[in-house]
Homo-oligomer: A and B are copies of this chain.
Amino acid sequence: MPLKEGDIVTIWIDPKRVFLMKIEQGKRLDTDRGYILHDDLIGKEYGEKIAMSKGNAYLLKPIPTDIYSSLPRPSQVLYPKDIGYILYSSGVEPDSLVIESGTGSGFLTIALAYFLGDNGRIISYDIREDMQKRALFNLSILNLSNRVTFKLKDIRNGIEEQEVDAVFLDMPDPWNAISPIYPSLKSSGSLVVFVPTVNQVEKTYLSMKNNGFVDLHAEELILREYQVKENAVRPKNIGVMHTGYLIRGRKFIKENRN
């Protein structure tokens, strides 16, 4: 299907030059490896090799991993390795109702919007309007903004939603949000928390343990990237050694609540 105005594309030049954007007539993408006019993309197809002013690029259909090299983002984001595991281990499904806080970089928001699809319901709480604006902008480039509701509220004061399938927390003091979200989370629903320090792991885990969660796990994922050349395969020398820890558990019905 030929591309048209408003479609989203990823211009992939090399692993460090990946540009996710919406086609807008009259615009131009400038890179240190040459430029291309948006108009020249109209009528092309995903998967084509295209000519930039200095060399070639590939025109790809955007997928969530493309956002890491291309969308505006703050220094700290959730990485694909963590997001994939968060989604899988939380047990969310295409029609789930999920809550996240904070909105943060919006990278988990985007992944949720993408994987839950049209029937998912995603509510994103944050106390910083600038973060939510950036996340909304990023979502809109991907034509996913209609799938997320942003609430400019402190999740530590509680949430309005009921029968929530899963809650995702990426905030400095997640243990202060556990009691507030507890009544809204479905019985057997998942809480998944991301924190950068071990001290936060301890507080979060013990707080979940003491507040009605079972099947608790504190985990960390390390991704190693390999350089593959003929007869010379080895891990890349320098890389990301640490992003954060994941703590997850499932709510049970506390006896004093029966």
Q: How far is A87 from B112 in the complex, measured between Cα atoms in Å?
A: 12
New A-B pairs, 19, CB < 8 Å, besides A47-B187, A47-B188:
A12-B214, A46-B186, A47-B251, A47-B252, A49-B252, A60-B215, A61-B189, A65-B91, A84-B86, A84-B89, A88-B111, A196-B234, A197-B233, A201-B226, A216-B228, A219-B224, A222-B223, A235-B241, A236-B242
For the complex of A and B, 4 pairs with smallest distance between CB atoms: A47-B187, A63-B91, A84-B88, A84-B84
Which of the listed residues A12, A15, A230, A235 has the most CB atoms from chain B within 10 Å of its own CB? A235
> How many copies of the chain does the oligomer comprise?
4
Residue A29 CB within 8 A of the other chain: no
Q: Which A207-252 residues have C-beta < 8 A from chain B?
A: 214-228, 230-245, 250-252
A45 at the interface (CB under 8 A from B): yes
Asked whether, in the complex, the Cβ of A60 is within 8 Å of the Cβ of B188, the reply is yes
Q: Are A240 and B237 in contact (CB under 8 A)?
A: yes
Contact B218 A58 (CB under 8 A): no
In A62-108, the 8 Å CB interface with B consists of 63-65, 80-81, 83-91, 93-95
Question: Per a CB cutoff under 8 Å, which of B58, B116, B189, B217 touches A215?
Answer: B58
Contact sample, A vs B, 29 pairs, CB 8 Å cutoff: A46-B187, A47-B188, A47-B253, A48-B252, A49-B255, A58-B214, A58-B215, A60-B214, A64-B88, A65-B91, A80-B88, A81-B221, A84-B85, A85-B85, A93-B117, A94-B119, A95-B117, A117-B117, A198-B233, A199-B233, A202-B228, A206-B228, A218-B227, A220-B223, A220-B235, A221-B221, A222-B224, A235-B241, A236-B242
Chain B residue with the shortest CB-CB distance to A244:
B234
Shortest Cβ distance from residue A251 to the other chain B in the assembled complex, whole angstroms: 6
A20 to chain B, nearest CB (A): 12
Give complex CA distance A162, B83 in Å.
30
B residues in contact with A217, CB < 8 Å = 225
Q: Are B49 and A232 in contact (CB under 8 A)?
A: no
Contact (A232, B199) CB under 8 Å given A63-B90, A88-B83, A217-B225: yes
Determine if B243 and A237 form an interchain contact, defined as CB atoms under 8 angstroms apart: yes
